[in-house]
Structure 1
Amino acid sequence: MPYTDSEYSAYFTVDTSEVLLVALYLRDFAGLQGVGRPALPPVIPPVRSVGSRRLAAPAGGAVLRVEWEAWWHSLLAHRISDAAMPVPPDFEALDGMEALKALLRARYGAAREWAEERCAEYALHAGSRGAESMEYLLARIVQERELELGRSARRFALQVIELPLGVHRAWWVEPDKLLMCQELFADEHSFRSYVEPVVRMLA
C-alpha cells in the first residue's frame, strides 16, 4: 500500500511479496544456509528442509546455491512489485538456471500454496494494525528528521517489504528497500532503530 505526502518529499510503499516468499521457501526447502545478500533468517512457519545434497542432479550442491543467489539478487535489483513470478511449464524468468528450474518444477505447487497462505495471513495482520499505520509513522519519522535538519527532506522513495521471518529486525537493501520481519512494527522502539538510520541517509 503506498503513502505519499506532497508537503514532504517521501513516498513509501509497504507490502509483502509473493515472489520473494516463493524464493525463500525454495531456499529453506533446499537447506541453503546463509545465501543471498542480505542473508535472511529462516521463514516462519518453518519449511521442511531436505538439504541441497539430497536433491537430485542437476538441482543439488553448489550450482543450486549460485543460481538461487543470482535470482535473489535480480529480484532485489528492481522494484519488488515488478518482479516476475516464474510460471510453468518453462519458468522463463529463470532461463539459464537449470538447477533452480528443476527444483521449482518439483516444488512449484507447494511453494505457491505456502506463499499464498503467508500473503493471506499478512493481509489480516496488516489490517489489524489499522489502515496505513506504518506509512504514517514513516512520514512522522521523516518530519522529525526535517526538524533536525532545518530543511525539507530530499525527494526519495522507500519500499518496505514485510516477510514472516524468525528474527525481529530489518535489512536495508540500498538504495530504496527495507526487508523487514512483519512483527517488527509491533515494537516501535525497535522499528525506529532500523528505520531512522535509513531515513537519515535518504532525507
Structure 2
Amino acid sequence: MHQTAGPGWRVTIDTSEPMLLALYLKDNAGLTGAGIPPLAPVEPRIRECDHHQLTQHVGGVEALRREWEEWWAGLVGDSPEAVPDVSPPEFTAFSTAPALQRSLQAHFGSAFTWARERRAEYERLEARREARGDHRILQEMVAGRQLEVGPLAKDFDLRIIELPLAEDRAWLVASDKVIMSQSLMDDAENFRSFLAPVLEILV
C-alpha cells in the first residue's frame, strides 16, 4: 500500500485480494461485461471453463452472473453485510448464492493461487515505483489543481484500487474511490487524462 498526502488531502493506492479472487471467477466463468462498472478481463488472461453443467441445477450461468454481480457490488461498496466470508471448503456464507457457491467450491484453489501471485507481483511493482519516485505525479496533479481552485480547494481522501486489467483505464466507482488498471501509471499522459477529471470533482 502507498499513501501520498499533503495538507488536507490523502491518496491511498493498493490492490484488493477479494477483488482479485472475484475477477478470476468472473473471467473463468466467461461472465463478460458482468458487474458495474463492467471491467476489462484480467491480465494474464484466465482460461475460461464451461460452468453450465456446474450450475445447471441452481439457475445456470445467468444465476451465476446475478450472484457474482451482487458479490462484486458489495466489494466495490465496501459493504460488510454484502460481502460473505470466503471460507473453504463449503463456502456456507454463499448458501443464498448457490451458483456462485458451486463455482467457488470448484475453482477456489486456482483462484486463490492466482490472486496470491498477482498480489506478490503488485508488491514488486510498488517497490519499483517507490524507488523511481513514480508517485510524484499525483502530488504534482493535486498541487496544480489546488492552485487552479485557490482558497476554494476542498479537503479530500481518495482511494485507488489497482487491478491487473487488460485495458489501461480507470473507473470512478464512488465519490472517493477509483478502480484502475495497475499498468495505467506507467503511461503518465494516459494516467493524467483519467485522474484529472476525478481531481476536478474532489478538490
Check the 8 A contact 1:43/1:165 in 2, yes or no: yes
1:49 maps to 2:40: no
Where 1:43 maps in the other structure, the secondary structure is: coil
Q: Which moved more, 1:174-183 or 1:115-124?
A: 174-183
Q: Which amino acid aligns with 1:77?
A: G
- Alignment TM-score, normalising by the size of structure 2: 0.89
Where 1:115 maps in the other structure, the secondary structure is: helix
Where 1:179 maps in the other structure, the secondary structure is: strand
1:101 maps to 2:105: no
Gaps of 5+ in 2: none
Cα distance in 2, alignment partners of residues 166 and 178 from structure 1: 16
Write 1 or 2 for the structure with the bigger share of helix.
2
Check the 8 A contact 1:32/1:51 in 2, yes or no: no
1:199 maps to 2:194: no
Partner residue of 2:115? 115
1:155 maps to 2:155: yes
Q: Which amino acid aligns with 1:183?
A: S
Superposed displacement of residue 91, structure 1? 2.6
CA RMSD of aligned residues (A): 2.2
Higher normalized contact order (CA 8 Å, seq sep 6+, divided by chain length): 1
Where 1:55 maps in the other structure, the secondary structure is: helix
Superposed displacement of residue 3, structure 1? 2.3
Where 2:160 maps in the other structure, the secondary structure is: strand
The percent of aligned pairs where both chains have the same amino acid is 41
Where 1:160 maps in the other structure, the secondary structure is: strand
Partner residue of 2:189? 189
Q: Residues 9-29 of structure 1, C-alpha deviation per residue, up to 9 Å, x if partnerless?
A: 211111111110000000001
Where 2:49 maps in the other structure, the secondary structure is: coil
Could you say if the C-alpha distance between residues 121 and 188 of structure 1 is closer, same or farther in structure 2, counting changes exceeding 3 Å?
same
Where 1:130 maps in the other structure, the secondary structure is: helix
1:78 maps to 2:109: no
Q: Which amino acid aligns with 2:149?
A: L
Gaps of 5+ in 1: none
Check the 8 A contact 2:55/2:99 in 1, yes or no: no
Aligned length: 200
Partner residue of 1:15? 14
Could you say if the C-alpha distance between residues 31 and 157 of structure 1 is closer, same or farther in structure 2, counting changes exceeding 3 Å?
same
- Alignment TM-score, normalising by the size of structure 1: 0.89
Superposed displacement of residue 144, structure 1? 0.6
Q: Residues 84-130 of structure 1, C-alpha deviation per residue, up to 9 Å, x if partnerless?
A: 75122343553521111111011111100000001111111121122
Q: Which moved more, 1:175-184 or 1:26-35?
A: 175-184
Cα distance in 2, alignment partners of residues 143 and 92 from structure 1: 48
Runs of 4+ in 1 over 6 A off after TM superposition: none
